[in-house]
Amino acid sequence: MTLDPQTPQTTPPGEGWEQIEDIGFLDLVGPIWRQRAGEVYHYGFRAEPRHANLNGVVQGGMMMTLADRGMGRTVRIAHDDRPVATVHFSYDFIAPALIGHFIELHPKITRQTGSLVFMESVVMDGETLIGRANGVWKKLKAKPKTD
């Protein structure tokens, strides 16, 4: 399914999804959506023509952005909504993400220490596994200084 770039459909399929308000980079490439799935959220986005690479499928950086943001938000929620930072991240591209499809991230915390959170996630297009992400996040006491 290819979307007309003049009238892109960005909404997720089904009910229960809420749009995440985001600023900065995510405001440029989003919207990103989330849906409660037990104790965690699933995250997703509708692949639009602006997300395409030269092969006509979703640019790998967009897939990694979804995974990093969704996994980071999962850690942040588990850390009482305090700031966190990605310290390691890897992504395996298993199959292409197609334009027009709704792509979902299913994150899972696998281990926590006093200061680190280890995660793994699968990236799905419907029932099809298209990617895997793994990472480590640092629990911060405060946001980093920006001046």
Provide the CATH number for the domain around residue 83.
Answer: 3.10.129.10
Residue 4 resides in a domain: no
**Tokens encoding 88:** 């390691």
Residue 11 resides in a domain: no
Q: With 80 as the cut, is the pLDDT of residue 42 above it?
A: yes
Residue 86 resides in a domain: yes
Taking the model in full, what pTM does it have? 0.88
Residue 77 resides in a domain: yes
Q: Among 97, 94, 74, which Cα is nearest to 84's?
A: 74
Residue 1 resides in a domain: no
Residue 12 resides in a domain: no
- Structurally, how many domains does the chain consist of? 1
Phi-psi region of 13 (alpha: psi -120 to 50; beta: other; left: phi over 0): beta
Residue 122 domain boundaries: 21-139
CA angle in degrees (0–180, nearest 5) for 10-11-12 = 120
Residue 145 resides in a domain: no
**Tokens encoding 111:** 């281990």
pLDDT band at residue 126 under the 50/70/90 scheme:
very high
pLDDT band at residue 101 under the 50/70/90 scheme:
very high
**HEC readout, 109-126:** EEEECCCEEEEEEEEEEC
Measure the CA dihedral 30/126/77/119, to 10°. -110
Q: What pLDDT was estimated at residue 9?
A: 64
Q: Which of 31-40, 59-68, 86-95 has the lowest mean pLDDT?
A: 31-40
pLDDT band at residue 27 under the 50/70/90 scheme:
confident
Residue 7 resides in a domain: no
